[in-house]
Structures are given as C-alpha cells and as structure tokens.
Structure 1
Amino acid sequence: MLWACILLPQLALDAVLRRLPDPHEPLALVEGPAQLRRLHAVNDSASQQGLVPGMRLSAAHALMTQVRTLDYDPKAEAHWHRFLAAWAYRHSSLVSQQWSHAIVLEVQASFQLFGPWPRFERRLRGELETLGFRHRIALAPTPRAARVLVGLRDGMVVTQPAQMQAMLDKVPVRRAALPGDAGERLHRMGVRTLAALRALPSDGVRRRFGGEVLEHLRKLYGEVDDPLTCYAPPDHFDSRLELGYEVEMHTALLFPLRRLIGDLCTYLSIRDGGVQRFTLRLEHEEGHTDVDVGLLAAERAPSMLFELSRNRLERVEIPRPVVAMRLLARQLPPFIPAARDLFDMRPQQAMDWPHLRERLRARLGDDAVYRLVAGDDPRPERAWQRVVGDVLADTTAPERPPRPTWLLPHPVPLRDSRMRILSGPERLESGWWDGDDARRDYYVVETAQGQRAWVFAAPGEQQGWMLQGWFA
C-alpha cells in the first residue's frame, strides 16, 4: 500500500480567506483573553508588514493599523478539516483525519482510476487550489512515514520500504512526530536522529519515555500494522459562512453563495449523489429568512445549482441585514446522469433540457413549467392533464384516432357550405357521471381554404357544425 499525506499548514486561515471577496488584504486571526490577545495566523499581506503568529495584538497594531482581525474559531477549523476529509474520500476509500492539520489517504488502489502518482498528485493539488487551501503532499509506504516526510519537504515520494527506512533514519527526532515532548527531550540528551534513537536499548527507552515512543517507531517503519480511524461521510450537508459585515443587497450575497454551492457539489461528488431540495438560510441579528430551492430531479452541476439558487434568492425580499449564510441539504437521492449521444451535435453554448427547465421554474415559478399527457377521459376539453416534473401519469390513455394539434378553448360555430368531409363520424358519449354529459359525432373536414379541421355535430346530423380544433 502507498499512503499520501496532505498537510494543511494554515487550515484556519485558508478557511477564512476563501470566503472573502479580497483575500489579499492584510488579515490576522487572533486568540486569547481580552487583555492578552495574540496573533494565531496571518496572511501573506500581513506577513510582509512584519506581523507573525504569536505576536501580541497591541504590537501588531503598532506595526500596522489597517490590518483586519478576526477571532480564531477552533470549531470552524475542525469543520473544514472534516470537509477536506470528505473531499479526499472521493479519491480513496481509506481516508483518515486523526492527525491535526493533515489528511492521510491510501492511493495505490486508486492508480487504475486516476493514473500514476505524478498525474494523481497534480489532480489533488489542482482541486485543493480550486477549493482555496494551501497544502503540502508526500507519498510513503506507511501513513506515519508520509506524515513525517511531508513536514520535511513538499513533494517527497518514497515507494520502496528499504528506501523509506534509509530516509527515516536521517530524520531529526524533533521532526519525527514523536508522542508528547519526547522529540525535544531526546534532542537535549544528544539523540539527534531516528537512527540514533533506534540504536538505543529498548528497555531504557521504555523506562524513560514509555511504550508509546517504541510503538510509534514500529508503526513509522512499517514493522507492525498501523490501524487508522477512517473517515465516513455524513448523510447530509450543512455549511455556514459568516459574512463579517451586514449585507442588505442581493448582489453582495452571490460570492458566498457560489462558495457554498461549490462546497455542496464537492460533497455530492464524494457521495456520488445529487441534491433535489435544499434550503438557503439568511441569518440576521435576530431571526433568519429561509429560501427553499427545489428541483424536479436530482442534480449536482455547480453552474446549474448556482443559477437556480441565485434566481430564487433574487425573488426574495431581504427584511433585515444578513450577517451569515447557511446551506442545508438533507434530501440527497442518487444521481443518475442524463444519457448523452456519443456524437453530440449540439452547439457548445446550447443548454440541455433539464437545465433550461429548472431555470424557467426558478424565474417563472414552480407551476409555470409542466408537461401535457393524455388522460383517460374521451371528452376533448378533459382529455389532457398537466404533469409537473418527470413523474409518470397514473392513468393510461386508450388508443384514439388522430387528434388536432391545436384545440380551441371552447368550440365555435363553423359556417362553410363548401367544406368536404374526410373521415367520420366518431361517436363520443361520456360525462354522465359528473353532470357534464357530451353526445357528439366528430368529423375530420377540409374547409374551402384547404384547412383541415376537427368538427362535431349532434348525433345523426350533419348540420350545425361546431369547430373543435385545427390539424397542423
């Protein structure tokens, strides 16, 4: 087996920067009590001005007065750690997030799907950059070795156990992820590398540092199995973005909306599923406003879901300023892609029918788009029924002679002394059960102008013609 470790050196900061319209403005995350506030993380713009993690907030303001500060939220950091574990789950069935700021996944079984490691690595890096998270990646035969090597240098690749052992022997003990403060204590004792540590008597190491250090070494070198706590994706999606300021216009909500939709689609691709109904919750200082988005079929295309959500959002009046946006999706049915022709001749900018249908429903209303299907009532004015969505009609219409394409809302008299009967009569007697009895003889006729019409008269008569519809 081969394990890839993805190190996320500034997970909390990236989680904040990815939701800001301008991530390049100076920003710092702060933590600690009110009188001892310190910088937890800073972005590149703030770092260039001399701000560093661990600095007192008062000293940071002395260096730079225009820096934006936000509170560090450990819960939010844990949420995005789980989100990235879910993202990694789309590439491997064995994913672990048991180590802080790191995701470990088994990748050798995925080479047949994603190609050899260089191509697979480029795919992982490209998707992480799109999601907005900085990262470092390393590959090794054991998960702990990958975790240690990624902390030394980005892009390290070790595929053979013998090569891995030789490389690990040179690793400084302070950078070997040893339990607790064992690495620092060993360094002070003069034990500099893992090779020197392994050369020490096991009993002495156990007495001084406990059995965890020796157990860590055996798992690191692949001498014993290293069971990991594997990730399992949840059965719903729930994500929230704080805006950091009050928003009163729809346009200012589009950027966080696009982020939320992108995260939702990433999660759907992990589950190999789609979404048919979700809720956008606009949170105010007091209360919230829900925007329900429903589709006729399960979808997961980011462009489609964003377009539908935007149209629904623009139709909602914002009663109070919005301070946060939340997306909740609990109905996640399986996703079945639409069948496509191998030689699809549609223009590049053409829109497929499901996308067009959902866009029309979002703009015109849920009941504005429907299908017409034949019903089981022979009366022309009741022979058709509306069906919303792709649900099949419950009734099965019997076979009937050809019907006109254009049916008039109400029959009108037809006065044409030179018309010619082409076919008929077709006797229609129905409606006795609902009080709207109809007894008619229908004919297909050709008018003096050459038009084909569908007309009827009283049973047994050929006068007093009433026009019901026109054939194309």
Structure 2
Amino acid sequence: MLWACIVLPQLALDAVLRRHPEASAPLALVGGPAQLRTLQAVNAAAAAAGLQAGMRLTAALALLPEFEKVDYDPQAPERWQRFLAAWAYRHSSLVSAQWPGCIVLEVRASFRLFGPWPVLQARLRDELQALGFQHRIALAPTPRAAQVLAGLRDGMALHDAAHLGDTLDRVPVRRARLPDDAGQRLQRMGITHLAQLRALPRDGLRRRFGLPLLEHLDRLYGQADDPLSWYAPPDHFDARVELGHEVENHTALLFPLRRLIGDLCTFLSIRDGGVQRFTLRLEHEEGHTDVEVGLLAAERDATLLFELTRNRLERCEVPRPVVAVRLLARHLPAFVPASRDLFDTRNQQQLPWPQLRERLRARLGDAAVYRVGPAGDPRPERAWQRLDGDRVVIASAPGRPPRPCWLLPQPVPLQDRPVRIVSGPERLESGWWDGHEARRDYYVLETSQGQQAWAFAAPGQQQDWMLHGWFA
C-alpha cells in the first residue's frame, strides 16, 4: 500500500476565509474568555501587519486598530475535517480523519483510475485550492510516515518501502510526532534523530516513556499494522455559513450560496448520487426563513443548482436581516447522467432539456411547466391531462385521426370564406353522462390563405363552422 497524507495547517482560518469574497483585508480569529481574548489564527494580511497567533487582543489592537475579528469556533476544525474526508473519499475507498488536522488516504489502488502519483497529486492540489484550503501533501508506505514527511517538506514522495527506514532515521525526534512530550524530552537528553532513538534498548524506552512510544515507532516504520478508523460518508448533507454581519439584500447572499452549492455538489459526487429537493434556510436573530428548492429529476451540476437556487431566492421575501445561511439536503436519490451521442451536434450555448426545464420552473413557478399525457375522453378539450414529475409513465394515446398541434382554449366562429374541405367528417358524440354533451362533425379545412384549420359543425351540416385548432 501507499499512503498520502494531506496536512491542513490552518483549517479553522481557511473555513472562515473561504466565505469571504475578498480575503486581502487583515482578519484574525479571536477566542478565549472575555477578560483574556487572544488571537487564535491570522491571515496573511494580518501577519504582514505584525499580528500573530497567541497575541493578546489588546496588544493586537494597539498594533493594528482596524482589522476584522471573527469569533473562533472550537468545533469548526473537526467539522471541516469531516467535510474534507468526504471529499477525499471520491479518490480512495480507504480514508481516515483519525488524526487532527490531516487526512490520510490509500492511493495505490487509485492509480489505475486517476493515473500515477504526480497526476493524482496535481488533481488533489487543484481541488483543494478550488475548495479554498491550504495544504501540504506527502506520500509514504505507511500512514504515519506520510504524516511525518508532510510535516517536514511539502511534496515529499517515498514509493519504495526498502528506503523507508533510511529516510526516517534522519528525521529529528521533535518532528517525528512522538506521543505526548517525548520528542522534547529526548531532545534535552541529547537524542536528536530517530536513528539514535532506535539504537536505544527497547526495555529502557518502555520504562521511561511507556508503551505508546514503541508502538508509534513500530507503526511508523511499518513493523506493525496501524489500526485506523475509516471514514464512511453520511446519508445527508447539512452545511452552515455564519455571515458575521446582518445582510438585508439577496446580492450579498450569493457568494456564501455559491460556496454551499459547491460543497453540496462535492458531497454528491462522493456518494455518486444527486439531489432532487433541498432547503436553503436563512437564519435571523430570531427564527428563520426556508426557501424550498425542488427539481423534477435528480441533479448534481453546480451551475444549474446555483442558478435555480438564486432564482428561488430572488423571488423570496426576506422579512428580517440574515445572520447565517444553512443548506439541508436529506433525500439524495441515485443520479443517472443524461445519455449523449458520441458525435453530439448540440450547440455550445444550447441547454439540455432537463436543465432548461428546471430554469423555466425556477423563473416561472412550479405550476408553469408540466408534461401532457393523453386521457380517455374523446372530447378534444378533455382528451389530455397534466402530469407532474418524471416518474409518471405516459400511456399510449388511443388511435384517432390527426389532431392539430395548436388547440384553441375555446372554439370560435370561423370567419374565413370560402373554405375547402380536405377531409372529414369525423363524428364525435360524447359527454352525455356529465352534463357537457358534445355532438359534432369535425373537418380539416383549407382557408383562403392556405392554412389548415380543424373545425366542426352540427351533425349532418357543412356551415356555421366553429374553429377549434390549427395544423402546423
């Protein structure tokens, strides 16, 4: 096996920066009790101004009076680590988020699908960059070795297990992620590298440092299996973005909405599924407003879902300022991609019918777009029925003479004179049981302008034509 370790050095800060359209202004995460507020993390602009993690808030304000302060959420790193574990699951079936601040995944089995390690590594980096997370990546024959090498130098790759021992022997003990404070204690004792540590008697190390140190070394060098807890993706999506200030218009919600939709589509691709209904929840200081988004078929295209949600959001009235946005999707059906021909002649600007249909529903309303199916009633105005959704099977229409593509809502007198009878009559007698009896003789007529009309007259007559439709 080959293991890739992705170290996330500023997970909590990246989780905040990715919801800001412009992250060039100084920003810091602030935590701790009210009397002892300290900076937990700072972005590049704040660091350039002299701010650093661990600094007291009062000292930071004296150094830089104006910078954005965001409350530090202790649960955010773990929550976003689980999200990135779900993202990594699309590249490997063995993913672990057991160690804080990093993701470990087995990649040798993925080479046949994604290509050799340089190609897969570039893919991982591009996707992490698009998601907005800083990272360091290393490759090694054991998970712990990959974690240690990622902390030493970004991009290190060790494919051969035969060279693992020589490489690790040169690692400083303070950088080897030894349990507790063993690295610092060994450094003070004059043991600087792992080669010196491995040369010491194991019994003495166990008495002085405990069994976890020896277990760590054995698993680091591949002399013992490393029992990791494997990630399993959840069966629903729930993500929330705090805005940090009150928002009263739809435009300011579009950037966090785009991030949430992108995260949803990443989650859907992991499950190899789609979404047919989800809820955009606009949270206020008191209460919330829900924007329901429903589709006729499961989709997972980020551009389409964002466009649909934006249209629904623009039609929604926001009664109070919004302080947070939450996206919930609990029903995630299977996704079946639309079939395409090998030599597709569709224009680049032309939308596929499913996407066009959903955009029309979002703009015009759910009731404005629907399917039409045949009904058993022979009366033309009652010979069709409305069908909602894609799962309803359309039955075969009864055999009848040709019908016009354009049927008028109500028959109107045909004013054109003279007309030529093309075909007919077709006798229709129905409706006696519901009080709307119809006795008509239908004809296909050609008007003086060459149009083909569908009209009827009283049984046995060929005058006082009533126009009911036009043929194309």
TM-score w.r.t. the length of structure 2 is 0.96
Matches within 5 A, 1:309-328: 309-328=309-328
Counterpart of 1:66 in structure 2 is: 66
SS in 2 for 1:73: coil
Q: Which amino acid counterpart does residue 75 of structure 1 have in structure 2?
A: Q
Matches within 5 A, 1:51-90: 51-90=51-90
* In structure 2, distance between residues paired with 1:439 and 1:107: 75
Tell me the percent identity: 72
Matches within 5 A, 1:250-329: 250-329=250-329
* In structure 2, distance between residues paired with 1:179 and 1:11: 22
Pick closer, same or farther for the CA change 1:43–1:415 going to 2, 3 Å: closer
SS in 2 for 1:367: helix
**82-91 or 186-195, larger mean C-alpha shift:** 186-195
Counterpart of 2:122 in structure 1 is: 122
Q: Is the 8 A contact 1:375 1:396 kept in 2?
A: no
Deviations 1:117-173 (A, max 9, x none): 101111100111111110000000111100111010000000111111110011111
Q: By how many angstroms is 1:396 displaced?
A: 3.8
SS in 2 for 1:335: coil
Q: By how many angstroms is 1:418 displaced?
A: 4.7
Q: Which amino acid counterpart does residue 103 of structure 2 have in structure 1?
A: I
Counterpart of 1:237 in structure 2 is: 237
Counterpart of 2:382 in structure 1 is: 382
| 1:333 and 2:333 matched | yes
Q: By how many angstroms is 1:395 displaced?
A: 4.5
Q: Is the 8 A contact 2:422 2:443 kept in 1?
A: yes
Matches within 5 A, 1:186-197: 186-197=186-197
Deviations 1:60-95 (A, max 9, x none): 112111122222111122111111111111111100
Q: By how many angstroms is 1:249 displaced?
A: 1.1
Q: Is the 8 A contact 1:376 1:395 kept in 2?
A: no
Pick closer, same or farther for the CA change 1:409–1:32 going to 2, 3 Å: closer
Counterpart of 2:25 in structure 1 is: 25
Deviations 1:373-405 (A, max 9, x none): 322211111112222332335654212111112
**354-363 or 438-447, larger mean C-alpha shift:** 438-447
* In structure 1, distance between residues paired with 2:68 and 2:421: 84
Q: Is the 8 A contact 1:281 1:327 kept in 2?
A: yes
Q: By how many angstroms is 1:417 displaced?
A: 7.0
Counterpart of 2:170 in structure 1 is: 170
TM-score w.r.t. the length of structure 1 is 0.96
SS in 1 for 2:75: helix
Pick closer, same or farther for the CA change 1:425–1:202 going to 2, 3 Å: same
**318-327 or 371-380, larger mean C-alpha shift:** 371-380
Q: Is the 8 A contact 1:387 1:393 kept in 2?
A: no
* In structure 1, distance between residues paired with 2:140 and 2:344: 43
**297-306 or 424-433, larger mean C-alpha shift:** 424-433
Q: Which amino acid counterpart does residue 398 of structure 2 have in structure 1?
A: P
* In structure 1, distance between residues paired with 2:39 and 2:414: 87
Q: Which amino acid counterpart does residue 93 of structure 1 have in structure 2?
A: S
Aligned residues: 472
* In structure 2, distance between residues paired with 1:38 and 1:418: 92
**325-334 or 404-413, larger mean C-alpha shift:** 404-413
Q: By how many angstroms is 1:291 displaced?
A: 0.8
Q: By how many angstroms is 1:464 displaced?
A: 4.2
* In structure 1, distance between residues paired with 2:237 and 2:22: 26
* In structure 1, distance between residues paired with 2:451 and 2:351: 36
Q: Is the 8 A contact 1:279 1:293 kept in 2?
A: yes
Matches within 5 A, 1:4-153: 4-153=4-153
Q: By how many angstroms is 1:259 displaced?
A: 1.0
**148-157 or 382-391, larger mean C-alpha shift:** 382-391
Q: Which amino acid counterpart does residue 101 of structure 2 have in structure 1?
A: H
Q: Is the 8 A contact 1:376 1:396 kept in 2?
A: no
Unaligned runs of 5+ in 2: none
Q: By how many angstroms is 1:447 displaced?
A: 3.6
SS in 1 for 2:25: coil
SS in 2 for 1:254: helix
**238-247 or 335-344, larger mean C-alpha shift:** 335-344
Q: Is the 8 A contact 1:86 1:233 kept in 2?
A: yes
* In structure 1, distance between residues paired with 2:422 and 2:138: 81
RMSD (Å), alpha carbons: 1.7
Deviations 1:307-362 (A, max 9, x none): 11111111111111111111111111111111122222223222222222111111
Q: Which amino acid counterpart does residue 326 of structure 1 have in structure 2?
A: R
SS in 1 for 2:342: coil
Pick closer, same or farther for the CA change 1:166–1:471 going to 2, 3 Å: same
